[in-house]
Amino acid sequence: MLGWTIDDHRRATAEGLSARHRIETTLAALAALDDPAVLIGGPLVEYALAEADRLDASGARDLPLFGVPYVVKDNIDVAGVPTTAACPGFASTPTEDSGVVARLRAAGAIVVGKTNLDQFATGLVGTRSPYGTPRNPIDPTMIPGGSSSGSAVAVARGLVPFGLGTDTAGSGRVPAAMCGIVGYKATLGRVSTHGVVPAVRRVDCTTVFARSVADAAAAMAVMGTYDEADPYARPAPVRATRPIRTVGVVTEWPAGLLDGPTHVLYRDALARLEAAGVTLVPVDIAPLLEAGALLYGGPVVAERYAAVGEAIAGLPDDADPTVASIIGGATRWTAVQAYATEYALADHRRVAARLFATIDALAVPTTPGVASLADVAAEPIAANARMGRLTTFTNLLDLAALAVPMGLRPDGMPAGLQLMGPAWSDDALAALAATFLGEAAPAAALPTVPTVPLIVVGAHLQGQPLNGQLTERGAHLLAATTTAPRYRLYAMEDTVPPKPAMVRDELDGAAIAVEVWAVPVDQLGSFLTLVPPPLCLGTVELVDGTWQKGFLCEPRAIVGAAEVTHFGGWRAYRASLASAAVPS
């Protein structure tokens, strides 16, 4: 059963194969594993077999993950199984499941092992553990990535269909890139962190590894439900489904950030995204990188001390020296510096919000390159920092992210591509990631609200002064198109901001550039209250012959107004005014 997917297990369940048989086979593969550093404490034989027998006896074979084995990073609680966070002296045995394990257990999934990690989830390299370094499944001289090293390796080797990790600075995405698999980091607060040893608690995420987007999404659909026991949990809002049509990309990289092979693969990945039908938009990610530097380079790291600093101080023999130096050094920061950093982060979040008002998603490599075990041994702090340059800002800025393989480098190592989006863009990111990998888009998991199409002509167009009245209501752009050639456009007098008036002319009209926006039905009423007379809502014919609700005007609107039909649209007319105002 090596390499089985969740669908393989579902078919086996439908054909009558017991959960126990599948779990026994998985446990045997784990016991025969030639890498003792993947699991902490070995396979969970008694626990997993008891769970399998319980499931088989229940007859609940319609559970979505009936008998599906998975592994859990050992900073996530499983009732009755020690949690070590890769620090032997810190180990304790919880009496209840973490929120995420409880949800997976209720869905029929079975934990078969606890996996190794960078101690206290402090690291992106996978080498900071007294239990050893899991071997990279592609090249054993390279790092496996961290901190969720063991889970990523177990999934990459086909031992289980999915595994749990955590991600504060990139720990659920960097190992995915280094092992050539999928790493799914949902919106902050979507997946419970109750029963997870905290790192930076307010930006910690519980994540999932899989070899396909389909498996990652299937696990996430079960994992990602609101948990009242987690004070940082957020219920998913009911929102309009927003497909990804524009993707921000980096065309001018800071000098020395990407290595050559990663740069080549990134360019190839952008071509594949464009072939998938999205529009690529060049963006500047320097402000995002500045925000990411605050995670380890400022007082935010003091939150790690608040979580586990006393444990490290009390267990000097068990503490990894690099981890101890990072967390122990956090005591130098003052409360004043911490607040100053929070103010800076608020500014960075506003910058990010403005960026994502112009694009639906951002695509960047998961890591700037790769790192060998020798690199980390020579420069333990610097090598780790390099691996996280493109991941550390994500949670600080409240972004969702999905990391997928984007190809193999000349040295045979995989490289990852990150697709990032604003909070609650998870489903759209998963759909785009699946398309990128040639998979069918997974079913949406977040609640959605129906939308209605609305044609806008002037000040509500993308980039125009009143577009925010749409975007703040969760509306998204469906298409940029034109009307049928039966309309005239006028620039109304004395309107602030300037607005056009469009009227239908059956005999001597023209095609006018418009946009079609999807507006959530529960937001349409509040939007219409903002539409001043003499503008009104009517029915507009598009160039493809369809009719949709859109902006028209009362006849009095064009009295004294200048006709601008010959410009072909409001944006072109406004651009002509701007160019005319520039002195020669």
pLDDT at residue 475 greater than cutoff 90 = no
* pLDDT tens track for 46-57: 999 999 999 999
Amino acid at 164: L
Confidence of residue 11 (pLDDT cuts 50, 70, 90): very high
Distance CA 238, CA 218 (A): 20
State the architecture of 6-437 in CATH terms: Alpha-Beta Complex (3.90)
* pLDDT tens track for 58-114: 999 999 999 999 999 999 999 999 999 999 999 999 999 999 999 999 999 999 999
Residues 182-189, mean pLDDT to the nearest whole number: 98
The pTM score is: 0.86
Q: Which residue has the tokens 């956090």?
A: 330
Residues 473-494, mean pLDDT to the nearest whole number: 92
Burial label for 517, CB within 10 Å (0-12, 13-18, 19+), is: buried
Residues 162-185, mean pLDDT to the nearest whole number: 98
- Cβ neighbours, 10 Å, residue 16: 7
CA separation (Å) from 518 to 93, 361, 511, 550? 50, 18, 21, 11
Which pLDDT belongs to residue 514?
97
Which pLDDT belongs to residue 297?
83
Which position has the higher pLDDT, 477 or 535?
A: 535
Question: Exposure string (b/e) for 397-413, b if CB count within 10 Å is 16 or more?
Answer: bbbbbbbbbbbebeeeb
**Using an 8 Å Cβ cutoff, are 119 and 80 in contact?**
no
Burial label for 120, CB within 10 Å (0-12, 13-18, 19+), is: buried
pLDDT at residue 222 greater than cutoff 60 = yes
What phi and psi values does residue 227 have, to the nearest 5 degrees?
Answer: -125, 110
Q: Which residues pair with 247 in a beta bridge?
A: 280, 361
Tokens of 129: 């553990």
pLDDT at residue 582 greater than cutoff 60 = no
In the chain, what percentage of residues exceed pLDDT 70?
A: 99
In the chain, what percentage of residues exceed pLDDT 90?
A: 88
- Which CATH class, in words, describes the domain spanning 451-581? alpha beta
Q: How, if at all, do strands 414-422 and 361-365 pair?
A: antiparallel
* pLDDT tens track for 122-135: 999 999 999 999 99
At residue 65's C-alpha, the angle toward residues 62 and 67, to 5°, is: 95
pLDDT at residue 439 greater than cutoff 80 = yes
Residues 270-282, mean pLDDT to the nearest whole number: 96
Residues 10-39, mean pLDDT to the nearest whole number: 97
Amino acid at 232: Y
pLDDT at residue 237 greater than cutoff 90 = no
Which pLDDT belongs to residue 583?
57
pLDDT at residue 479 greater than cutoff 90 = no
> What is the C-alpha end-to-end distance of the chain, expressed in Å?
73
Q: Identify the weakest region by mean pLDDT among 209-218, 370-379, 472-481.
A: 472-481
* pLDDT tens track for 346-391: 999 999 999 998 999 999 999 999 999 999 999 999 999 999 999 9
pLDDT at residue 577 greater than cutoff 90 = no
- The 3-class SS string of 409-472 reads CCCCCEEEEEEEEECCCHHHHHHHHHHHHCCCCCCCCCCECCEEEEEECCCCCCCCCCCHHHHC
Active-site amino acid positions: 73, 147, 171
**Using an 8 Å Cβ cutoff, are 117 and 347 in contact?**
no
Nearest to 400 by CA among 380, 378, 419: 419
Distance CA 414, CA 304 (A): 31
CA separation (Å) from 126 to 43, 130, 208, 327? 20, 11, 17, 17
Distance CA 166, CA 217 (A): 16
Residues 246-260, mean pLDDT to the nearest whole number: 95
In the chain, domain spans: 6-437, 451-581
Identify the DSSP state of 298.
S
What phi and psi values does residue 126 have, to the nearest 5 degrees?
Answer: 85, 10
Which pLDDT belongs to residue 581?
63
